[in-house]
Structure 1
Amino acid sequence: MAVEWKGVFPAVTTKLKDDGSLDHDAIKAGLHRLIENGVSGVVMMGMVGENAQLTPEEKRTVLKLAVETVDGRVPVISGLAETNTAAAVQFAKDAEALGVRGLMVFPGLTYKSESRETIAFYKTIAKASKLEILLYNNPRGYGVDLTPDVVAALLEEPTITAIKEESYDTTRVTDLLSRFEGRLNVVCGVDDLVLESVALGAKCWVSGMANAVPKASVELIDLAVAGNFEAARKLYRVLIELFHLDTHVKLVQYIKLAENITAGYPEHVKAPRLKLEGEERKKVVAIVEKTMTDLQALAR
């Protein structure tokens, strides 16, 4: 069944115990909460899910838990973040066997490939399984830019159906849709550019802070896609300071702390990341608490 790239697909946090091991119960509870609040799909083990810090066994355990917990209610998408093509191909095959519906594929980690290498990498992964592929374009984070010309070559593979656009350049949304609309789904990958991206034609959003505020995030994109920008702008302005935290190098810690405050899930992270402390922690707590207060006021 094809993935319908519409609505909010949270980049789900990987809940951990204090010793860094997987917290199975919290992972399951978090998925139930997201689905109950109306998300359209879940992306396991993206950057927010600390993919690169998980062991191969942990990655496959997370996927097994997700597929079993979600039980077909929404598509389960897995991040694929590996350092070499052979490992990426094996992961794609394993993810397909575990029952996920698609892959959000990072460029090869630790190496800034040029266009010929990038195209070969993604095409090889596309051929390794029947899963739909969401390209992950984050040149700031990984040094590889999936330009429209690179994307044109990649679309020779029929399973490549979407791109998570995180170049922080909203003109890319228009450039991609003007060339590939009907063939490629352009997905917003930056929380504080979601309203702008929807205005330009995006209908799907892979969101980090939707972990903390799933209901408001679903409402926001629904309002925008429906063309109710007046109401969407009011809600967006309430959420924007929280969404700005999604663009920081410590987005994982910020999102996990926000999720801890709003839903009670553990904020533990995989080393070398450390939990927030001091003034930085106080600042994030203040932003989250103010956002929740303002959301309640807006709902009255």
Structure 2
Amino acid sequence: MTAKWTGVFPAVTTKLQENGAVDILSTQSSIERLIKNGVSGIIVLPMLGENASLKLAEKEKVIRAAKEVVAGRVPLLSGLAEVSTESAADTARKFQTFGAEGLMAFPSIAYKSDARETSEWYRTLAAECDLPIMIYNNPIAYGVDVTPAILRTLEDVDQIVCIKEESGDIRRVTDLYNEFGDRFAVFCGVDDLILESLTLGVTGWVSGMTNAWPEECVRIFDLGRAGKFAEALALYRVMTPAFHLDTSVKLVQYIKLAEHLVYGAPEWTRAPRLPLVGEEREKVVAVINDTIASLRSRSSKAA
């Protein structure tokens, strides 16, 4: 595999109309906005993109529409979230024909596989398609931890090129580098650990809140990669309350609401997810509006 992914790869939200239909034009517009603000890659159909709630025909429309607007400027990956090994392999092949250039692959979303089963899941997936693979490691949400020991069994699989590290244990980043050197690209997978992860050497970031604030997120990443941690920290502290929203079970609603308030994107989600209401909505709106105001104040002072 020649894929050398690095930089900020937003996990793109799938824009929907109020009736739940996929809003292709708004999705394309959001992707264009992300690219213009300096992201290094695009990931459509992550779980943040409501992958599990979409039909295959809708997923095809999203990937093809993203391919059209990306137009080769950055790598285009798709999330792959399936139940069985057979369906994962079949869907991966279809996604490749739709235009995906890589996969961010979940473990089975219906079964907590053990170490042997997890290893076989990814090995089989790699054998059944021709795309480079980023392993999505989020044991907090999915109950399956792709540990360094499991990765050791996959080290010979050339198509597995990257791991999205979202175990919540910041020590895991160093353990991965100590175990494998640069064999796998290591991406931070949670917004409110990005600066900590950059100090430990990650080369990429799969980010949720980049959907709302791409310029600021790219700046934090670039400053951290350049070792300008004091400058990055000042902006990181402004962004962290909003970044905490990325770790909630309702991150889809929270991040879509942030997009809506920041630049007017539709906030609609597909049931069973429902729009935020009452005190919960007020709290999230307050965090987002405080972040908007703080960023505006920083900008005016810089000017």
- TM-score per shorter chain, which class? over 0.9
Compute the displacement of 1:179 (Å).
1.3
- Alignment pair present for 1:275 and 2:275: yes
- SS of corresponding position for 2:136: strand
Compute the displacement of 1:244 (Å).
0.3
The whole-number CA distance in structure 2 between the counterparts of 1:236 and 1:288 is 14
- Alignment pair present for 1:211 and 2:211: yes
The whole-number CA distance in structure 1 between the counterparts of 2:161 and 2:145 is 17
Compute the displacement of 1:4 (Å).
3.0
The whole-number CA distance in structure 1 between the counterparts of 2:35 and 2:253 is 23
Specify the alignment match of 2:285 in structure 1.
285
Quick one: which amino acid aligns to residue 252 of structure 1? V
- Deviation sequence 1:230-267 (CA, Å, 0-9, x none): 00000000000000000011000000000001111101
| TM norm structure 2 | 0.97
- Alignment pair present for 1:142 and 2:150: no
Specify the alignment match of 1:121 in structure 2.
121
For 1:175-194, what aligned pairs fall within 5 Å after superposition?
175-194=175-194
The whole-number CA distance in structure 2 between the counterparts of 1:218 and 1:296 is 17
The whole-number CA distance in structure 1 between the counterparts of 2:232 and 2:181 is 24
Compute the displacement of 1:153 (Å).
0.8
Identity %: 51
The whole-number CA distance in structure 1 between the counterparts of 2:256 and 2:49 is 10
Specify the alignment match of 1:18 in structure 2.
18
Task: Give the unaligned 5+ runs of structure 1.
Answer: none
Specify the alignment match of 1:65 in structure 2.
65
- SS of corresponding position for 2:112: coil
The whole-number CA distance in structure 2 between the counterparts of 1:132 and 1:51 is 19
Single out whichever of 186-195 and 148-157 deviates more from structure 2. 148-157
Specify the alignment match of 2:77 in structure 1.
77
Specify the alignment match of 1:266 in structure 2.
266
Specify the alignment match of 1:199 in structure 2.
199
The whole-number CA distance in structure 1 between the counterparts of 2:152 and 2:57 is 35
Compute the displacement of 1:150 (Å).
0.1
- Deviation sequence 1:41-83 (CA, Å, 0-9, x none): 0111111101111111111111111111111111110000001
Compute the displacement of 1:122 (Å).
0.6
Compute the displacement of 1:296 (Å).
1.9
Compute the displacement of 1:2 (Å).
3.4
Compute the displacement of 1:182 (Å).
2.0
Compute the displacement of 1:5 (Å).
2.1
| TM norm structure 1 | 0.98
Specify the alignment match of 2:102 in structure 1.
102
Compute the displacement of 1:180 (Å).
1.3
- SS of corresponding position for 1:48: helix
Task: Give the unaligned 5+ runs of structure 2.
Answer: none
The whole-number CA distance in structure 1 between the counterparts of 2:101 and 2:135 is 14
Compute the displacement of 1:273 (Å).
0.3
The whole-number CA distance in structure 2 between the counterparts of 1:220 and 1:261 is 21
Compute the displacement of 1:101 (Å).
1.3
Q: Is contact 1:3-1:101 (8 Å) kept? A: no
